[in-house]
Amino acid sequence: MVAGEFKFEDDPLKHYVRTRGWLPLCKERHRQLQRRQPKERRRLRYFTFCAVNAVDVLMLDVAKVIRPSPTTGRFDTVCFFDRTVELVEQTKLRIPGSIGFAGSFVETVLTPLAGANPLAAPSTERDTEDVRRRQVLQATKRDFIDKFPFDVLNLDLEDLIFKARDKFPGDVIKALKQLCEWQRQPLISRSGPELLSGFTLLFTTRLGPAELREDYAQMLACELEANVAANRLLAKLLESRNGLEIGRLQEEDFATFFELGVPKVIAKVLMDEDWYIDPIPGLVAFKFTRPGRPPYDIVHFAMNVSRQSPPRDERHPGTIPSPVAAAYEAFAHRLFERPAAVVTDSTVSGIDLKPSLEQIKARRRKYYSDEMAQ
């Protein structure tokens, strides 16, 4: 296996989520672009953490959701992050023409910007390794910002969203907020500047940690308690789901506490940045267990996001449009009503996912012929 390849590429549980969760929403986003007038149609713009083998990108290529440029054959509407320059270059062999960024995604997004040219050494600082590293981070961030907005943000982090060393409310939440801000900037296309009316958000995280830091736990609990206080029906839905009250959830059913609390925080981040979760299809959630010592759970959240209308700079400060408030209530209701779909070996036992994976591998060989000789 090439360094940096995703070792769970052939995992049927992961591929079930790709094909049953990610693919339908991405197909619908693509259909919306194709329903436009001919002069306004364009290719779907996609951001991902695809790893070297780029399984998700190639799955969408096979499905004709992502298309290479008809003139150059390049995946110039696909952007991705990976840890090192070497891994980025390996990935670009599999999806030629894609735009890769090397380094820590969260660190890059949260790096403060300074100066017009981030690669020019400030006169007040020595030309040291630390200064150069910060300059590279700033340059990468500027280049990354220039690629926004995207029709699909696939934040397949597969890491903890809440880390003990991070400052509240957590670096991943801060990075998500920043991305949602950049999503509001205009896209310059052949038909002129375009403001996205919506996008698809795919968000993956490990479930946990069970010993959640107090401020993180309070953030999740407060969101849930506010919902229940505003709508007593939600308490009944929770009771029918696991027989518990909100106050007992964290200690007695942490998985449900996490699965309810994290989407609520994501929803609030979106609303703070003038977006909201579209009630169709609402939140689509999957969960499965990965082997390890100890085993751990991965949770996938998928949703369509719409821009608030009128935008906040055209309405009274602090107000939310009534359709947005109604959509938030519908989202909260379905969140309490519908648990994450638990994906197990039994779930996929009657589904043949191998043909899909073989199509993806064949498409990869089409672009990276060296793999045929291995």
**Domains along the chain with CATH numbers:** 12-208+262-322+336-373 (3.40.50)
Contact 335, 233 (CB under 8 A): no
Q: What is the mean pLDDT of residues 139-148?
A: 97
By CB neighbour count within 10 A (0-12 exposed, 13-18 middle, 19+ buried), where does 38 fall?
exposed
pLDDT above 70 covers what percent of the chain? 94
Predicted local confidence at residue 372, as pLDDT: 46
Write out the two tokens for 118: 């981030």
Is residue 374 pLDDT above 50, yes or no?
A: no
Measured CA to CA, the distance from residue 210 to residue 256 in angstroms comes to 12
> Is 363 a residue whose pLDDT tops 60?
yes
Structure tokens at 295: 């085993």
Cβ atoms of residues 82 and 49 within 8 Å: yes
> Full-prediction pTM beyond 0.85?
yes
Provide CB contacts within 8 A for 67, sequence distance 6+: 43, 44, 61
Over the chain, what is the mean pLDDT?
Answer: 92
C-alpha dihedral (175, 179, 180, 184), degrees to nearest 10: 150
DSSP state of 120: S
Whether 152 and 31 have beta carbons less than 8 Å apart is answered as no
Q: What is the pLDDT of residue 117?
A: 58
Number of alpha carbons in the 13 Å side-chain half-sphere of residue 64: 4
Per-residue confidence at 122, pLDDT binned at 50, 70, 90?
Answer: low
pLDDT band at 191 (very low <50, low <70, confident <90, very high): confident
**pLDDT over 60 at 291, yes or no:** yes
Place of tokens 């751990």: 296
Among 119, 142, 147, 143, which residue's Cα sits nearest to residue 132? 119
Residues β-bridged to residue 156: 204
Report the alpha-carbon distance of residue 250 to residue 214 in Å, rounded.
Answer: 11
